[in-house]
Structure 1
Amino acid sequence: MLSLVHPSVDRYDAWIAAHREWGPGLHEDGFGIGEDDRVDSEVGFAAWISKLRQGPGDLWWIVEDGVVLGGIALRAPDDPRAARHGHVGYGVRPSARGRGVASWALAQVVDLARDAGRQSIALVCLSDNVASIRTIERCGGTLEKVLDDGRAQRFVIRL
Structure 2
Amino acid sequence: MIAVVQRVSRSYVEVDGEIVGKIGKGLNILLGIEKGDSEKEIRKLVDKIVNLRIFEDNNGKMNLSVIDIKGEALVISQFTLAGNVKKGRRPSFDNAESPDKAKGLYERFVLEMEKYIPVQTGIFAADMKVFIENDGPVTFIIDSKAL
**TM-score, length basis structure 2:** 0.28
**TM-score, length basis structure 1:** 0.27
* Structure having greater relative contact order (Cα 8 Å, sep ≥ 6): 2
